Structure 1
Amino acid sequence: MRKLNLLLLLLIPFISQAQNDCEGFYIAKEGMSSTMKSYNAKGKFESSSISTILSRKNIPGGIELEVKAETKDEKDKIQFSSNLTARCIDNVFYMDMKGLIPEETMKGWENMEMSIKGDFLETPSDLKAGQKLKDGLMNIEVSSSGMSMMTMVFEVKNRIVEGFEDITTSAGTFSCAKISYDIHMKMLFNMQLKAVEWLAKGVGPVRVESYRGDKLQGYSELAELKK
């Protein structure tokens, strides 16, 4: 269950209030960070996920961010750390989908070569109820000594803006866009999940829920925002 929660958190688009012409749904000031705490379906704390903006630079039409994604277990021990890239161009934010890969999987590939090809997950800053957002796709090939060992496919599909709601967590009350989507993972076995997330402008994810069928698998909430 913990793996599903962490995966969903890393899937969340890093949409940010970067500059006047690129406002959106995530932090973007250098040094800012947000902490999400994850729980199982019964409300037991499992892990925390910290996103920190390491750097921001101007690029044609917008900005580029380097984001550190870090995961800690229930004992506050670091389990996973990776740097990701995000870009905001013409009021559309693009998030590197490498964040889809669970940390348990990365540890198993430490001595292997990986070839990763995929989309940047796109989310515009001017969301409207009923709006359909673009899908995302990523392919991973794992090899050893030039021999292919495994191919993996991650898909994010059926992304829809359900509406707008106020969400309250220990970090405060936020006006959020509610977005639902499906996650398809094809590896040695197939897995399908449904996720619902609430994003606040200038803040990012406030709450994320994961479902298998209609059954809640776990959820995450914003616990801390450092500016």
Structure 2
Amino acid sequence: MKKLLTVFTIISVFASTVYSQTCGYLLLTNNAEVEMSMFDKKGNPSGKAVYKVISSNGTEAKVLSKVFNEKGKELSGGEGTYKCDGKNFSVDMKALLPGEQAKSMNMKDMEVKSNNASIYYPTNVSVGASLPDNEFTAETYAGGMKIMSMTLRVTDRKVEGKESITTTAGTFECYKITSNQNIKAIFNMSIQVTEWFSPNIGVIKTESYRKGDLFSSTLITKISK
């Protein structure tokens, strides 16, 4: 089985709306683009995910995402909806699909039907807070016939502390958020995820563990607007 890479959506600064003080995320800004590099369990580069805003009114945006392997070959692509209501920033949960799983859900000549589940990040984060559980379901069809179904559950989300993270994109003050993820498809897999979230910047870094061992990681490496 190929290694799976948990790809988290990146979020960042300034949206010119009435919510500008609480919804200032880059991926609510027209033409903004974010690059997140992916690494395997040994820290070797295994690809990247690129997110580009194709339309936004400041509180809701359509974002084009593409996943590439370590040689630069595009594996998958799709559109997601990003929203902010002044209290929470929400992202389509399909943005959390591992790279190989996303590839299988977005192949040409296939239709994907999914629910509208989103994952939420509060605009005012606090250490010790528990965040809501979330569940995403999807079915893939070819020629009108269902060929695969998948469920992704994210549970036990908790803000564990604060840390500073430095990348090629800059230095960010982050909240450390842990969660459990369970994927049910043609196989079942459970992983433990730690992400570093910078308010008004977004998810800067992630680490995924399986049975206590590092499984994969991601790191924001480029921001442009």
Common fold by TM > 0.5: yes
After TM superposition, the structure 1 = structure 2 runs for residues 163-182 of structure 1, keeping only pairs within 5 Å, are 163-182=161-180
After TM superposition, the structure 1 = structure 2 runs for residues 1-227 of structure 1, keeping only pairs within 5 Å, are 4-5=4-5, 8-10=6-8, 12=9, 14=11, 17-18=14-15, 19-23=19-23, 27-57=27-57, 63-101=59-97, 102-107=101-106, 110-144=108-142, 146-227=144-225
Provide the C-alpha distance between the structure 1 equivalents of 2:169 and 2:202, rounded to a whole number of angstroms.
Answer: 12
For the 8 Å contact 1:13–1:94, the answer to whether it is kept is no
For the 8 Å contact 2:11–2:201, the answer to whether it is kept is no
- CA change 1:71–1:114 in 2 (3 A) is closer
Q: Match of 2:183, as an amino acid?
A: M
Report the secondary structure of 2:127's partner residue: coil
Provide the C-alpha distance between the structure 2 equivalents of 1:140 and 1:22, rounded to a whole number of angstroms.
Answer: 31
Q: For this pair of structures, how many residues does the alignment match?
A: 219
Runs (5+) with no aligned partner, structure 1: none
- CA change 1:37–1:13 in 2 (3 A) is closer
For the 8 Å contact 1:69–1:82, the answer to whether it is kept is yes
Deviation at 1:14, TM superposition (A): 4.3
Provide the C-alpha distance between the structure 2 equivalents of 1:77 and 1:143, rounded to a whole number of angstroms.
Answer: 24
Deviation at 1:24, TM superposition (A): 5.7
- CA change 1:143–1:223 in 2 (3 A) is closer
Percent identical residues: 28
Q: Match of 2:194, as an amino acid?
A: V
For the 8 Å contact 1:138–1:153, the answer to whether it is kept is yes
Q: Tell me whether 193-202 or 94-103 shows the greater mean CA deviation.
A: 94-103
For the 8 Å contact 2:26–2:32, the answer to whether it is kept is no
CA deviations 1:151-190 (Å, max 9, x no partner) are 3211111111111110112222111111111111111221
Provide the C-alpha distance between the structure 1 equivalents of 2:2 and 2:223, rounded to a whole number of angstroms.
Answer: 22
Q: TM-score, normalised by structure 1?
A: 0.85
Provide the C-alpha distance between the structure 1 equivalents of 2:201 and 2:89, rounded to a whole number of angstroms.
Answer: 14
Runs (5+) with no aligned partner, structure 2: none
Provide the C-alpha distance between the structure 1 equivalents of 2:77 and 2:45, rounded to a whole number of angstroms.
Answer: 20
Q: Tell me whether 121-130 or 26-35 shows the greater mean CA deviation.
A: 26-35
Provide the C-alpha distance between the structure 1 equivalents of 2:145 and 2:76, rounded to a whole number of angstroms.
Answer: 27
Deviation at 1:103, TM superposition (A): 2.9
- Report the RMSD for the aligned CA atoms in angstroms: 2.4
Q: Tell me whether 12-21 or 165-174 shows the greater mean CA deviation.
A: 12-21
Report the secondary structure of 2:53's partner residue: strand
Q: Match of 2:115, as an amino acid?
A: K
Deviation at 1:2, TM superposition (A): 7.2
Report the secondary structure of 1:9's partner residue: coil
CA deviations 1:18-44 (Å, max 9, x no partner) are 342433665432122121111112121
Q: Tell me whether 207-216 or 168-177 shows the greater mean CA deviation.
A: 168-177
